[in-house]
């Protein structure tokens, strides 16, 4: 089946916001085995919206619209789609009660009159409850064509899609689509693709799709089958083969686990505490580890040591080391990581020192040169990297590489 995405909103046309909903919906639809050939953005204009909906319905089986379900007069998605399907709007008692209840909880009972507009639904539409806002989702079906209307705010559209829309889309298809994720670090994208080229060349069902992320590669294994059990039977041998090929380079098979979360879990399991000493990344590495809710169990404190003086005073990096090899050197990275472990008493530590750019590079030490030190219970490993991005990208990659290095060393460690 084919799907087409329409994002409704003048703020997207003006470039005020980035269209993250489209990327989210596109990835989810791909996961569900729906083919998407077109995405469109159109403003809150009746005529242009109608033309866009009609064109999309002429090309695709399913059209998913996001945005334009709000309470104001500008919000036209529901009205226009109902018109295209030849449906009248009627008040939905259940939705009206939910809106009343939502306002009771969030806004101490002050429903403004225009909010009742959100209780109007096209005749015959399936109403999908919104657990994070007032505009319900709506599904219209007619003559083999389907329009799915979803609210615009990401914190409303995502839970609604996961909970109700994905299962609905799966039921539409003669065979359901089921998938498993494998997230890989420590190997580059092209190497991963080479290592699975033979599998990808011959794949039919299940299929493997690689997604490159900063310093990681995600593989999604997707099967079509009558039910989840049958799908798992198809997916299992492929997963086994991937585990055979990538081994402990696979850091998780969970959708929602990030690399930093996987690392925090290993630290918790091995009862190790971690700290960081950052120069060029200036707090971003610590910030990423502390993205993980509950990371306070393993991360107690860390240092940002930009100046040589701070490296000497806080981390006990030797002045001779800084003089002889420079602040950006494997020697300094090594002394930094030993120093921060000592200063904090942490079992495990990371240090980062490098030249993020745009200035500060030399012929011997160009912009993008970064050293990462990793300390695990007395053992230190230092790695050298040459990144080729701008300042932001170089810092982002340095953080990703540091996390990868930490994970590798943690796997080797046994108490």
Name which of residues 252 to 291 contact a second copy (CB under 8 A). Answer: 276, 278, 281-287, 289-291
The Cβ of residue 208 has, within 10 Å, a number of other Cβ atoms equal to 16
Tokens of 178: 């089921």
- Of 12-20, 169-177, 190-198, 221-229, which segment contacts a second copy by CB under 8 A? 12-20
What CA–CA distance (Å, rounded) separates 53 from 400?
42
Preceding amide of 52 cis, omega within 30: no
Decide whether 37 or 229 has the Cβ nearer to a second copy: 37
Tokens of 145: 């064509």
The Cβ of residue 120 has, within 10 Å, a number of other Cβ atoms equal to 16
Tokens of 217: 């590669």
Choice from 142, 358, 377, 412 touching a second copy (CB under 8 A): 358
The Cβ of residue 28 has, within 10 Å, a number of other Cβ atoms equal to 18
Site for a second copy in 68-127 (CB under 8 A): none
Q: What is the nearest approach in angstroms of a second copy to the Cβ of residue 284?
A: 4
What CA–CA distance (Å, rounded) separates 166 from 28?
8
What CA–CA distance (Å, rounded) separates 263 from 234?
30
Decide whether 271 or 300 has the Cβ nearer to a second copy: 300
What CA–CA distance (Å, rounded) separates 121 from 261?
42
Q: What is the nearest approach in angstroms of a second copy to the Cβ of residue 229?
A: 27
Print the binding letters for residues 300-339 with a second copy: x by CB under 8 A, - otherwise.
Answer: xxxxxxxx-xx---x-------------------------
Q: What is the nearest approach in angstroms of a second copy to the Cβ of residue 88?
A: 28
Q: What is the nearest approach in angstroms of a second copy to the Cβ of residue 305?
A: 5
Q: Is beta strand 145-150 parallel, antiparallel or unpaired with respect to 62-66?
A: parallel
What CA–CA distance (Å, rounded) separates 356 from 358?
7
Decide whether 95 or 279 has the Cβ nearer to a second copy: 279
Q: What is the nearest approach in angstroms of a second copy to the Cβ of residue 72?
A: 14
For residue 41, what is the DSSP state?
A: E
The Cβ of residue 45 has, within 10 Å, a number of other Cβ atoms equal to 16
The Cβ of residue 91 has, within 10 Å, a number of other Cβ atoms equal to 11
Q: What is the nearest approach in angstroms of a second copy to the Cβ of residue 124?
A: 30
Print the binding letters for residues 186-225 with a second copy: x by CB under 8 A, - otherwise.
Answer: -----------------------x-xx-------------
Q: What is the nearest approach in angstroms of a second copy to the Cβ of residue 5?
A: 8
366 binds a second copy (CB under 8 A): no
- Of 74-82, 168-176, 179-187, 295-303, which segment contacts a second copy by CB under 8 A? 295-303
Q: Are 305 and 333 in contact (CB under 8 A)?
A: no
Print the binding letters for residues 13-52 with a second copy: x by CB under 8 A, - otherwise.
Answer: xxxxxxxx-xxxxxxxxx-----xxxxxxxx-x--x---x
Q: What is the nearest approach in angstroms of a second copy to the Cβ of residue 240?
A: 26
């Amino acid at each position: 089946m084919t799907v087409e995405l329409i994002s409704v909103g003048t703020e997207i046309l003006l470039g005020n916001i980035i269209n993250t909903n489209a990327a989210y919906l596109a990835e989810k639809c791909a996961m569900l085995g729906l083919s998407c050939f077109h995405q469109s953005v159109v403003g809150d204009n009746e005529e242009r919206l109608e033309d866009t909906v009609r064109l999309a319905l002429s090309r695709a089986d399913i059209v998913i619209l996001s945005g334009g379900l709000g309470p104001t007069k500008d919000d036209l998605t529901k009205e226009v789609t109902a018109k295209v399907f030849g449906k009248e709007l009627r008040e939905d008692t259940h939705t009206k009660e939910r809106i009343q209840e939502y306002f009771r909880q969030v806004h101490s009972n002050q429903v403004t009159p225009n909010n009742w507009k959100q209780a109007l639904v096209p005749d015959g539409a399936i109403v999908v409850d919104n657990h994070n806002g007032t505009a319900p989702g709506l599904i219209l079906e007619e003559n083999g064509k389907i329009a799915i209307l979803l609210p615009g705010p990401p914190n409303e559209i995502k839970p609604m899609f996961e909970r109700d829309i994905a299962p609905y889309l799966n039921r539409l298809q003669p065979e359901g689509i089921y998938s498993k994720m494998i997230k890989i670090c420590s190997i580059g994208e092209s190497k991963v693709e080479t290592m699975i080229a033979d599998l990808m060349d011959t794949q039919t069902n299940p299929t493997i799709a690689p997604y490159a992320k900063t310093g990681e590669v995600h593989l999604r294994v997707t099967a079509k089958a009558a039910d989840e059990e049958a799908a798992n039977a198809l997916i299992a041998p492929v997963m086994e083969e991937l585990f055979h090929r990538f081994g402990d380079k696979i850091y998780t098979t969970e959708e929602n686990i990030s690399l930093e979360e996987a690392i925090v879990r290993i630290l918790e399991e091995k009862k190790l505490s971690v700290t960081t000493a950052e120069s060029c990344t200036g707090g971003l590495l610590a910030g990423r580890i502390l993205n993980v809710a509950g990371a306070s169990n393993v991360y107690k404190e860390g240092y940002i040591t930009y100046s040589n003086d701070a490296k000497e005073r806080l981390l006990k990096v030797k002045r001779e080391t800084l003089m002889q090899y420079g602040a950006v050197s494997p020697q300094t990275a090594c002394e930094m990581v030993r120093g921060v472990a000592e200063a904090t008493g942490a079992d495990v530590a990371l240090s980062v020192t490098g030249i993020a750019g745009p200035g500060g590079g030399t012929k011997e030490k160009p912009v993008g040169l970064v050293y990462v030190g990793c300390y695990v219970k007395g053992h230190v490993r230092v790695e050298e990297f040459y990144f080729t991005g701008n300042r932001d990208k170089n810092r982002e990659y340095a953080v990703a590489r540091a996390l990868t290095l930490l994970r590798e060393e943690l796997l080797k460690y046994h108490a």
